[in-house]
Structure 1
Amino acid sequence: MDSRKPREEVLIEWFLGDSKEILADLQGAVAAAREVHQSMQEAGASLASTVEDARAELVTANRELTAAIRETEARHDKALEKLDRQAKSLLAATQRRTVWVAAICAGIAGLAGGLGGALLFYRLVAG
């Protein structure tokens, strides 16, 4: 008898050997895919957490900025009101001084005019 295996058996053993290798490779690929899937889920959860933290920080920063703007506007309004009061007070004081100076100048001018007229009248009448 022939010690060689029939061709079909050799082919079946060859296919079985290849299928075992393919199965081992597939099992390795499935394990790697599971690891990748797990790491993707962890990365997604981490990313979601990071996004939520960043959103919370942005909301907090926005609130702080809004409060700072409101405080600045309030200070600005108070400063403008104070400046307006000071300007009105200075204007009123300047007007009072101007009225007094005008009255004194008018009085001096009237006195000088009256004295000049009296002197002219005196020279015309006496002279």
Structure 2
Amino acid sequence: MPSSSLAVPTDPLSINTWNYVVDVRTLARVSESFETRVRLTKIEGEAIFTELTIVQQQIDEVLKSIEGMKAALGGGKEWLEIAEGAFGELTRMQLEVEEKVGRMGRVMDGMDELGMELDF
């Protein structure tokens, strides 16, 4: 119903009823907003978890590759060069994980904030 067609009631009981209807509509919009925020936060958390899982798989692959090269080369200068490169790659991955964990912390803070807002 368009707002222009609403007549302001003059009877005090009608005013209370009308205010209640407005409050219910407002609460419905607020509820929808919270539900949307919760869904978006959940999706963001799931995406970060997926990214962390992929990085963990990459780290596992690098470690397996290092072990395979070490066995094939048996040590020496070549092994040292490969190990240094692998260390650099693992360091990069560690920084990536730290960044994603930080994002996950912000998501969790957002969930806590939503929970506090819902408590009001």
TM-score normalized with structure 2 length:
0.50
The structure having more radius of gyration, on CA atoms, is 1
User: Higher relative contact order at CA 8 Å, sep ≥6: structure 1 or structure 2?
Assistant: 2
User: TM-score scaled by structure 1?
Assistant: 0.47
